[in-house]
Amino acid sequence: MRLENKVAIITGAAAGVEGQLMGFGGAAARMFAREGAKVVLTDIKEEMGETAAAQIRENGGDALFMPQDVTSEARWLEVIRETVARYGKLDVLVNNAGTGARYTVEETTVAAWDAQMDVHAKGVFLGTKHAIPEMRNAGGGSIINVSSIYGLVGSPTSTAYHAAKGAIRLFTKSAAVQYAGEKIRVNSVHPGYCWTPLTDPGYSHEEGRRDWSLERIPLGRLGNADDIAHGIVYLASDESSFVTGAELVIDGGTTAQ
């Protein structure tokens, strides 16, 4: 029970349905509940999110789903208010929602650029901004921002994604320094190449995509949702109480090269 009595919000958590390919948020929600946390799963995918939360409850966990687009400030205020009304406080926020956009600089439209900045950089900013007052009331908290190895190094495409994930990395350190005095920790997680609903179209259907990634992973396999969820649990728990402003890279050695 590493997260006993903690109340957590996890965004982009719909893909946590048994028997289906899981995402980081969905896998983390299931793990959080097993470790004793009360979990609010949010996502724009309502049906899948409701199913994921219902399954956690069927397995004896305490979870509920709230529809949320993380780019809406008004909705952030509602989700945090409803969470505190239901569970009494907020201890952990996992800013995980995201989408991809594999374009070179010249292929990237202003609309694609803005959409990447909105869902990643602005989404993380808004969640952090509005979670802090509740964490202050709770006497501290942990904010976990899911960046990527693409927030650390470049690649042949994904221009706006790189820029937005890089923004999350430095935003995290800025917030960590500002709120450390109030025991609010803020860390980023940097997953490498993982097979999830986000990357499944490429890995299942795109010729050579899987091999291209495997060639870049010293440990010799793609990551899965649980590989990343384990790291998120650690950062949410009191085991990481001396860790803030840090980058947890979980990438099978890709960025060690």
Ligand X SMILES: NC(=O)c1ccc[n+]([C@@H]2O[C@H](COP(=O)([O-])OP(=O)(O)OC[C@H]3O[C@@H](n4cnc5c(N)ncnc54)[C@H](O)[C@@H]3O)[C@@H](O)[C@H]2O)c1
Where do contacts with ligand X occur on this chain (CB under 6 A)? 11-12, 14-15, 23-25, 43-45, 68-71, 96-99, 119, 146, 148, 191, 193-194, 196-199
Expressed in angstroms, the distance from the first to the final Cα of the chain is: 36
Give the residue from 127, 147, 136, 129 showing the smallest Cα distance to 232.
147
Residue nearest to ligand X (CB): 23
Residue 182 CB, nearest approach to ligand X (Å): 26
Specify the residue, 138 or 233, whose C-beta has the smaller distance to ligand X: 233
Nearer to ligand X, 61 or 98 (CB): 98
List the catalytic residue out of 87, 150, 161, 193.
161
Has 203 been annotated as catalytic? no
The minimum distance between CB 219 and ligand X, in angstroms, equals 14
Taking a C-beta distance cutoff of 8 angstroms, is the pair 252, 217 a contact? yes
Structure tokens at 110: 């202003």
Please, what is the minimum distance in Å from the beta carbon of residue 16 to ligand X? 8
CB nearer to ligand X: pick between 70 and 248: 70
In the complex, minimum distance from the CB of residue 88 to ligand X, in angstroms, rounded to a whole number:
24
3-state per-residue secondary structure call for the chain = CCCCCCEEEEECCCCCCCCCCCCHHHHHHHHHHHCCCEEEEEECCHHHHHHHHHHHHHCCCEEEEEECCCCCHHHHHHHHHHHHHHHCCCCEEEECCCCCCCCCCCCCCHHHHHHHHHHHHHHHHHHHHHHHHHHHHHCCEEEEEECCHHHCCCCCCCHHHHHHHHHHHHHHHHHHHHHHHHCEEEEEEEECCECCCCCHHHHHHCCCHHHHHHCCCCCCCCECHHHHHHHHHHHHCHHHCCCCCCEEEECCCHHHC
Q: 4 vs 114, which CB is nearer to ligand X?
A: 114
Q: Which is nearer to ligand X, 25 or 141 (CB)?
A: 25
Q: How far is the CB of 138 from ligand X (least distance, A)?
A: 24
What residues are annotated to the active site?
161
